[in-house]
Copies of this chain bind each other. A is one copy, B any other.
Amino acid sequence: RSHVISCNTCHNLGTGGADNVPTSIGHGWQKGPRNSPTVYNAAFNVAQFWDGRAVDLREQAKGPVQAGVEMNSTPERVVATLKSIPDYVAEFAGAFPGMADPVTFDNMALAIEAFETTLITPGARFDRFLAGDDAALDATERRGLQVFIDSGCAACHNGPNVGGQDYFPFGVVERPGAEVLPQGDKGRFAVTNTADDEYVFRAAPLRNVALTAPYFHSGQAWELEQAVAIMSTAQLGTEMTDEDVRAVTAFLHTLTGTPPVVTYPILPASTATTPRPE
């Protein structure tokens, strides 16, 4: 509504697909309730948002557009804006052939999903290691991987996105302090209304995690080592040695892949009927 906040404001392709602040800033400088998850590889997650309330990316894309603390727009306003700009009308007609009225809020979301499915980051050193290149990881990183598996991290952080596949309480063993786990955000409980889901969140996908500080849904851990140590205590009930924390952190750095080359889009100009910023 302000014409200042875009998807890329909080999911910045240049900074790991996220915004590197604890919780995002939206319309009117309001702060959102949770740390912005990366859009890179988001297509691999079981569902979207920290609480999985959107079944897929096209459903997810409709949320921030309308959220009062994010873009603060409406489906009607989005459609009116797109329809006021002939180039967008032509693009939608081309992208959704045969539809009588292709410029819809649903199709906007579908188009964003289609773009997001291109945002994958292959070529991480860990992928090269998995493909058989033992030299892709050094000794510390290999030890970190071993600790990651042996201590139980991989029980939740697994699959193509090294996480993002299921929901777990935070913490499984020991609940972290209120600065890391704010009392007011009960996570998936808001979706399922089931007591078992209090303080349950989707296991964070760990690809490119070295690029997306600060960590946790609350964005309260700035250092990756600190996040690993908190996870160790809260989820595993073990106090990892400093050496193990460093090794696991070194391993996590090997999950940084190569983002796709994105050409900065030149947007078509507004017209006299385009809704104005408010």
Contact = CB atoms under 8 A, between A and B. Distances in A.
B3 A211 contact: no
Contacts of A22: 277
B9 A4 contact: yes
Interface in A1-31: 2-4, 9, 13-16, 19-22, 25, 28-29
Contacts of A269: 15-16, 210-211, 213
Interface in A259-277: 259, 261-267, 269-270, 272, 276-277
Interface string A60-73: 00000000000000
Contact of A262 (B9, B15, B222, B263): B263
Contacts of A270: 20, 213
A94 B259 CA distance: 24
A138 interface: no
A3 B21 contact: yes
Contacts of A14: 264-267
A133 interface: no
Q: How many copies does the complex hold?
A: 2
Given A211-B269, A269-B210, A277 B13 contact: no
Given A210-B269, A269-B210, A269-B211, A25 B13 contact: no
A269 B264 CA distance: 20
Interface in A98-120: none
Interface string A235-278: 00000000000000000000000010111111101101000110
Contacts of A222: 272, 276
A38 to B, nearest CB: 13
Contacts of A25: 2, 4
A2 B9 CA distance: 12
A223 interface: yes
B263 A264 contact: yes
B210 A13 contact: no
A139 B25 CA distance: 49
A262 B9 CA distance: 18
A223 B272 contact: yes
